[in-house]
Amino acid sequence: MGWIKDAKANAIAQEAARAREEGRTVFVARINNPATGHVMSGSVAGVAEQIEAVEAQGWLLHQMSYCQDKRGGVEGYYLFRPRR
């Protein structure tokens, strides 16, 4: 994994771990999706790694939603629930 992807995954993992330690029952993350340059369907760089990093802290992805940010980019909102 590249150093930027690593940094993003590590940062979100730390936030997820802190939420777990605080006893939170949900964890919501915003992940900005990079411009992929894909004309067709394909992998979105770094997003899977960030989801995996959160799930490694004891969370499970429950729901997700996308919207457009103020610059026209895509950002996702991911709702995680504690893994039981």
Which residues, in sequence order, are bridge partners of residue 28? Answer: 79
CATH code, 3-34+44-82: 3.40.630.30
Residue 56: pLDDT above 90? yes
Kind and range of the H or E run holding 10: helix 3-21
**Angstrom distances, CA of residue 53 to CA of 17, 44, 45, 78:** 10, 15, 14, 13
pLDDT band at 39 (very low <50, low <70, confident <90, very high): low
Q: Which amino acid is at 55?
A: E
Mean pLDDT computed over 54-64 = 97
Q: What is residue 18's predicted lDDT score, i.e. its pLDDT? A: 98
Q: Is 6 helix (H, G, I), strand (E, B) or coil?
A: helix
Mean pLDDT computed over 48-68 = 95
